[in-house]
Amino acid sequence: MRAEYIRPFLAAAVEVLKTDFGVDRVERGELRIETSYYTTQEVTAIIGMTGEIEGTAMFGTNKTTARRMVEAVTGTLPPVFDELAESAFAEFGNVVCGRASMLFEQQGWQCTISPPTVVIGRGAIISNGGIQRLVVPLETPLGEVQLAVALRPAGQPARA
Residue 122's pLDDT band (cuts 50, 70, 90): confident
Kindly report, residue by residue over 32-88, the tens digit of the pLDDT. Answer: 988 777 778 999 999 999 999 999 999 999 999 999 999 999 999 999 999 999 999
In Å, how far are 68, 95, 147, 159 from 27, measured between CA atoms?
A: 17, 20, 12, 31
What is the residue extent of each domain of the chain? 3-153
pTM for the full predicted model: 0.90
What is the bridge-based pairing of β-strands 133-140 and 32-34?
Answer: antiparallel
Q: Half-sphere exposure of residue 118, counting CA atoms within 13 Å on the CB side? A: 20
What confidence score (pLDDT) does residue 47 get?
A: 97
- The CATH homologous superfamily to which domain 3-153 belongs is CheC-like (3.40.1550.10)
